[in-house]
Structure 1
Amino acid sequence: MLQLLTFLEEKVSLLFKFKLFDSSWLESRQRERAERRTPSPPLRRGDVLEVPRSIFTHFGIYLGDNKVAHLIPDILPVLTSNDKLISSVITNERLILGCIYRCAMVRVDTLEDFAYGASILVNHVDKMMKTPPLPDVAKRAEKLIGAFPYSLLWSNCEHFVTYCRYGAARSRQTEQFCEVLKSIIRDQRTVIVSGLLGIISVVYFGIAPLTTLPTILIPFTLWMAG
């Protein structure tokens, strides 16, 4: 039982990126914080900006004149057509609800509104991409202003900026999440945990298709996937 609890704690920690004992992760986060504290050179049109926002990192393209184009979820366009309200600063509540509803747009905000009180990291994503930035990055971003298809994993703000800057949509956050998910699925202890939970549900709710089939199919699928 102790091993089971340890396993669950380990996997939940992975999902939420609480890698307290991962020195490489800690070092990378410390480097990012140091870079945020270091005074950055004047922003140039086409720079990629990133800021912490809710539990994610948010990205945008600097357009010049203190303006930033960024893909951001927002629930307000679903609720109202009032342009003045929609153009106001997007709060975290609006962002999260828009993310759930999958309603998003590429919009232009001031640098201050984009940062939402956080410090800004400039062109940090260049270290991840092996290709040099394309010309006319800002123009590519400006052409996409307006309603935009959104998916938390497959079409988010990081995909938007990497497409504009490098011509290939890619998200480091999505890749990290998928790696964590893959490690959980491929861990054979997941099969044991899912089987035990299935047995508990059968004992508690009785033998029925809604309890028996998941008890068999989920552990079997995880076993085959591992």
Structure 2
Amino acid sequence: MASPHQELKPGDLIEIFRLGYQHWALYVGDGYVIHLAPPSEYPRAGSPNALSVLDRNAVVKQERLEDVVEGCNYRVNNSLDREYRPLPIQVIISSAKKKVGQKMEYSIVRRNCEHFVTKLRYGKSRCKQVESTVDKGVLMIILGIVLGSSFAIGRYLYQ
């Protein structure tokens, strides 16, 4: 859970730690968040479901933070504040509330819940989960090529 000393403020990005991934929401005040929820997480949009990454559509929901969290650990994560200036709080909250109920295209790589909330807070869509995974994937491919090449050269030299 978030630290009891950590006060949630409207406009904060909430990172919720699910099994195998993080779900993201935007805190709008009075215990409520707005988030992008794939249909496999219905009827309770906060229900942890790793299969939600396979959905191609999602809906914007406003729900109580405690219902979305459902016992998972979470924290405020405004780490992109170091790179971008957050939009004015009124703009963030107003934009988020206008989207509630809208169906949106969903893609784990290009249009997921983290992209959604960072676009609301900063006006820029970012997902560090995907960026980190892509970076690790590229590194593993390069490492595989290097090791594979080394193995092939070694076999050639020692035949």
The TM tier, using the shorter chain, reads: 0.7 to 0.9
- Whether 1:98 aligns to 2:86 is no
Q: Partner letter of residue 104 of structure 1? A: A
The percent of aligned pairs where both chains have the same amino acid is: 29
1:125 deviation in Å?
A: 2.7
Q: What is residue 18 of structure 2 aligned with on the other side?
A: 53
**Contact 1:75-1:103 within 8 A present in 2 as well:** no
- Whether 1:150 aligns to 2:103 is no
Give the TM-score taking structure 1 as reference length.
Answer: 0.57
- Which structure 2 residues correspond to residues 165-176 of structure 1 after superposition, within 5 A? 165-176=121-132
1:165 and 1:115, CA in 2 relative to 1: closer, same or farther beyond 3 A?
A: same
| Partners of 1:142 and 1:110 in 2: CA distance | 14
Higher relative contact order (CA 8 A, sep 6+): 2
- Which structure 2 residues correspond to residues 9-20 of structure 1 after superposition, within 5 A? none
1:40 deviation in Å?
A: 0.6
For the residue of structure 1 that corresponds to 2:78, the secondary structure is helix
1:88 and 1:45, CA in 2 relative to 1: closer, same or farther beyond 3 A?
A: same
1:167 deviation in Å?
A: 0.4
Q: What is residue 179 of structure 1 aligned with on the other side?
A: 135
Gaps (5+ residues) in structure 2?
153-159
- Whether 1:66 aligns to 2:22 is no
| Partners of 1:114 and 1:137 in 2: CA distance | 20
1:132 deviation in Å?
A: 1.6
1:128 deviation in Å?
A: 5.9
What whole-Å deviation, never above 9, does each CA across 1:141-182 have from its counterpart, x for those lacking one? 122222111111111111111100000000111110110111
Q: What is residue 117 of structure 2 aligned with on the other side?
A: 161
Q: What is residue 219 of structure 1 aligned with on the other side?
A: none
1:99 deviation in Å?
A: 2.3
Gaps (5+ residues) in structure 1?
1-32, 77-85, 196-226
1:89 deviation in Å?
A: 4.8
What whole-Å deviation, never above 9, does each CA across 1:47-98 have from its counterpart, x for those lacking one? 211110221111111122221100122227xxxxxxxxx4435422xx3333
Q: What is residue 95 of structure 2 aligned with on the other side?
A: 140
Give the TM-score taking structure 2 as reference length.
Answer: 0.79
Taking only aligned residues, the RMSD between alpha carbons, in angstroms, comes to: 2.4
For the residue of structure 2 that corresponds to 1:134, the secondary structure is coil
| Partners of 1:107 and 1:137 in 2: CA distance | 15
Aligned residues: 146
1:129 and 1:71, CA in 2 relative to 1: closer, same or farther beyond 3 A?
A: farther
For the residue of structure 2 that corresponds to 1:148, the secondary structure is strand
Q: What is residue 4 of structure 1 aligned with on the other side?
A: none
* Largest Rg, 1 or 2: 1
**Contact 1:149-1:155 within 8 A present in 2 as well:** yes
